Amino acid sequence: MTNSSHEYPADLDADFRLTIDASDSGKRLDAVLAAHVDALSRNRIQSLIKAGDVTVGGAKIVEPKFRVNEGNAVVLILPEPEDPEPLGEDIPISVVYEDEHLIVVDKPAGLVVHPGAGNWTGTLVNALIHHCGDSLSGIGGVRRPGIVHRIDKDTSGLLVVAKSDQAHQGLAAQFADHGRTGPLERAYAALVWGAPSNLKGTIDANLARSQTNRQKMAVVKTSGRHAVTHWQVKDRFGPADEPALASLMECRLETGRTHQIRVHMAHFGHPLIGDGDYGSGFKTKINRLEEPLKSVVGSFDRQALHAGLLAFEHPANGKTLRFESPYPADFANLLSALQIF
């Protein structure tokens, strides 16, 4: 397969050949290839060069910074994607949308997204490897799904995953931009204790690992990572003549930090119902509730957080995709119990 200097490869499972013209003469090898092979990231191309998968004029080049000259024949050999380290597992998943580039799933609460310490199997990644099979064209040379964002194990809702390097690059760029210049949207429904006096607002508070518990995050005054959550009260629950017992809020992320909504809402004084890590101080409040609300709230064993809205630009065709997920049964049951309180 031979391409002119400004054509893109039609089949990235084979090899890519390029003859350097005047416009690329004198440039770095990795930069030239990155400009012409848009389905691979520059980092991935650099790895391929270092692995000896690129020749210039028939000679193997292992330095990404090698300067090419007009007339050089460049050949990039693409190795077959390696099998993933995690194994595919036949775990049921709810697929909202899928094509050759990406897949959108509605993750249930209780399912870990990515294998890690204590959760090497039974994750969404294991499920996707089984479900997608050979349609995974390889992320960074490995036949695995490309995770561009995550939601906590006990948070339910929508998640988009890349199936190719090209999709991974495009989606990762959008999530890094946090929707500032594109159509990316992420909105979460949260049931929290109490209710703010205002109907909407913004929490701008840096987050870092807790100094007392490294498994948790905490708001910090200095250092940490910038974190911004926009919130809006959708409904308040409780007797009209008393302070609100709880409220339904919509939270939109301007940044995507670990446990961001959970930590921000707790810092704000309105932790999520069921959040044992950041709202444990409100457990005694459950005992003061009347039945049947007491039983419903007491048996809700996860943070009441649902990723109900996800929108983004398709990385291959540029179309805006928008998905909404209904409340899962446990969240809907808790909401109903609060509404009739």
Q: Domain boundaries in the chain?
A: 15-77, 94-177, 186-339
Tell me what pLDDT residue 281 has. Answer: 85
The class that CATH gives domain 94-177 is alpha beta
Q: Over range 206-225, report the average pLDDT.
A: 89
**What value does the mean pLDDT of the chain take?**
89
pLDDT digits (tens, 9 = 90+) for 55-75: 999 899 999 999 999 999 999
Does residue 3 carry a pLDDT above 50?
Answer: no
pLDDT band for position 279 (50/70/90)?
Answer: very high
Tell me what pLDDT residue 38 has. Answer: 73
Task: Please report how many Cα atoms fall inside a 13 Å half-sphere around the Cα of residue 32, on the Cβ side.
Answer: 31
First CA to last CA distance, the chain: 69
CA–CA distance, 338 with 67 (Å, rounded to integer) = 67
CA–CA distance, 177 with 51 (Å, rounded to integer) = 31
CA–CA distance, 330 with 267 (Å, rounded to integer) = 25
Tell me what pLDDT residue 142 has. Answer: 66
CA–CA distance, 331 with 329 (Å, rounded to integer) = 6
Q: Over range 210-221, report the average pLDDT.
A: 89
Please tell me the CATH code under which domain 186-339 is placed.
3.30.2350.10
Residues linked to residue 307 through DSSP beta bridges, in sequence order: 157, 188
CA–CA distance, 88 with 102 (Å, rounded to integer) = 17
Tell me what pLDDT residue 6 has. Answer: 32
Q: Report CA 11 to chain centroid distance, whole Å.
A: 28
Q: Over range 79-100, report the average pLDDT.
A: 84
Which amino acid is located at 313 in the chain?
Answer: E
Fold agreement (94-177, 186-339): yes
Q: Pick the more confident residue, 132 or 118.
A: 132
Tell me what pLDDT residue 83 has. Answer: 52
Tell me what pLDDT residue 270 has. Answer: 97
Q: Over range 192-214, report the average pLDDT.
A: 93
pLDDT digits (tens, 9 = 90+) for 101-113: 999 999 999 999 9
Q: Over range 207-221, report the average pLDDT.
A: 89
CA–CA distance, 211 with 220 (Å, rounded to integer) = 10
Residue 241 among the catalytic residues: no
Number of CB atoms found within 10 A of residue 221's CB: 7
> How much of the chain, in percent, has pLDDT values that exceed 90?
65
Tell me what pLDDT residue 194 has. Answer: 95
Tell me what pLDDT residue 252 has. Answer: 96
Residues linked to residue 55 through DSSP beta bridges, in sequence order: 60, 75
CATH superfamily, with its number, for domain 15-77: RNA-binding S4 domain (3.10.290.10)
Select which of 152, 154, 275, 330 is catalytic.
Answer: 152
Task: Output the DSSP codes for 111-133.
Answer: --SS-BTTBSSSSHHHHHHHHHG
CA–CA distance, 116 with 111 (Å, rounded to integer) = 13
